[in-house]
Structure 1
Amino acid sequence: MNRPIIQLTGISAAYDRKTVLEQIDLTVYEYDFLGVIGPNGGGKTTLMKVILGLLKPSAGEVCFFQEGKKVPEISMGYLPQYNSIDKKFPISVYEVVLSGLNKQKSLFRPFTKEQHEQVRRIISRMGLEGLEERPIGQLSGGQLQRALLGRALVSDPQVIILDEPNTYIDKRFEAKLYALLEEINRERAIILVSHDIGSVLQNVKSIACVNGTLDYHPDTEIPTEWIEEHFGCPIDLLGHGNLPHRVLKCHNHTSNLKNTEA
């Protein structure tokens, strides 16, 4: 059964009285792999902040569900943009992953033996064995992304949100990253924000096109007309292997919102 886990209805959001998102409707389902694409400043990061509860919408409602029943909140893991990480901060790989359990830790008690075991399992799953004590400033881009993904995953959340995870990594590691995400998606829903249209269309299950408003596609069929209009340049989408090239009917964002995303 394809049950909803997050549902946004009539969401609008603004910064400094400037509207960034307007009348957004979106449903994320259990075990979905949703790709969020759109031009810079179109509102992708703002949308993620609303879902995470970091930004209160100016209108609309965000609802969460568990096993088909409405609940006040769900557990979510978050991998922020690479350039938002202070790589000079003196923290090790182990400490980065362990910090993902801070919300589950008792205030005046140390982490439990079971929690440390979970951290070690996640570090192994991320392929970071032997790097536990290495400072994050000494990691490659791919190693740091794996450590941050481990932090997002260690608390066993219902949804993982990834903001531009393939930034500053090479194509070889990008393939490994998406293979790892495919494995993780068997266990939980994933929301992935990316400007890399080609990689997104090859790996996700559904697409949300964001540019002030939102157009949702339950599969990876994206009209080239939308991409050319909203990204400002012609792009050819090619199908390879089991991913044939398909085009939907055109859709248009009618909003006159300015690119004011924070």
Structure 2
Amino acid sequence: MLALDIRNLTYRYTPKSPPVLHQVNLQVQQNEFIALVGPNGGGKSTLFKLILGLLPQQAGQIHLYGQPAPQNTQIGYMPQSMHFPRSLPISVQEVVLMGRLQALQGWRAWCSPKRWWRRYSERDLMLAKEVMQQTDIAHLAERSIQNLSGGQLQRVLLARALVTQPKLLLLDEPTASIDAHMERELFDYLQQINQEICILVICHNVRLIHDYATRVACVNRTLHCHENTQITPELISHMYGQPLDYLPQNSA
């Protein structure tokens, strides 16, 4: 059974606007690590929102392990930025625990602020502690999110996604605010958990894509998926509409 099966997906933000996504098809096997690349506005984040059920499906189908994906609680999501002000006086552990809301109620419930302040169970607390240890932020559990570095915050957001115990993990530009060393550490960790979790990541770092992804999905209104070895400078330039520095897999 496919981990993720997207067929003939089309989406418009208004009835008269051109489609942001048109006839998108993507079949993902369990334990694949797929990088999504393409220009800004090409539809990558829109595709994630459709998978999560944050946007209504207009045409086409999305299935996760044979079941409709929207509202499916087996999806973990790490956004490019936080959905609430970083100035909010809450701790690292409280942010991680928010992931349990999604696990129990779906992503639409998670996005409703009135749902944040529920009473967590002992299991919720245990899972949050385990995930914080795995992502090396257990020592930050009581620290306010106001006092975190960019790299620490990224680990908190990843822990919040993993505490849902997902079968599919979506990451929207997870390396946007961290340095090269932390990028490697993050992708090394993602490679480890990829043994149990299917991963889709929006990423513009060609070197990371070549070193970690099994396939590359080029998204620019339509979607074309390629084996990692098929990605060329010409293809990247075509997808982005401008030349990009190309770093081969084994370059120094």
Fold-level similarity (TM above 0.5): yes
1:131 counterpart residue number? 140
Structure having the higher helix fraction is 2
In 1, distance between residues paired with 2:233 and 2:169? Answer: 28
- Partner SS for 1:31: coil
In 2, distance between residues paired with 1:118 and 1:209? Answer: 35
Conserved in 1, the CA contact under 8 Å of 2:207 and 2:248? no
* CA separation of 1:121 and 1:237: change in aligned 2, threshold 3 A: same
1:96 counterpart residue number? 95
1:36 counterpart residue number? 36
Q: Which runs of 5+ in 1 are unaligned?
A: 244-262
Equivalent residues in 2 for 1:91-170 (5 A)?
A: 91-104=90-103, 110-170=119-179
In 1, distance between residues paired with 2:11 and 2:46? Answer: 8
1:13 counterpart residue number? 11
2:197 counterpart residue number? 188
1:71 counterpart residue number? 67
The two structures have a TM-score, normalised by structure 2, of 0.86
* CA separation of 1:230 and 1:134: change in aligned 2, threshold 3 A: same
The two structures have a TM-score, normalised by structure 1, of 0.83
* CA separation of 1:240 and 1:5: change in aligned 2, threshold 3 A: closer
Deviations 1:18-77 (A, max 9, x none): 210101011121111110000111111011111111112321111222xxxx22444101
Which residue identity does 2:12 align to in structure 1? A
Conserved in 1, the CA contact under 8 Å of 2:35 and 2:215? yes
Asked which structure has the greater CA Rg, the reply is 1
Q: 1:229: how far off?
A: 2.4
Which residue identity does 1:21 align to in structure 2? L
In 2, distance between residues paired with 1:177 and 1:47? Answer: 23
* CA separation of 1:174 and 1:13: change in aligned 2, threshold 3 A: same
* CA separation of 1:202 and 1:85: change in aligned 2, threshold 3 A: farther
1:218 counterpart residue number? 227
Aligned with 1:206 (options 207, 210, 215): 215
Conserved in 1, the CA contact under 8 Å of 2:210 and 2:249? no
Q: Which runs of 5+ in 2 are unaligned?
A: 106-114
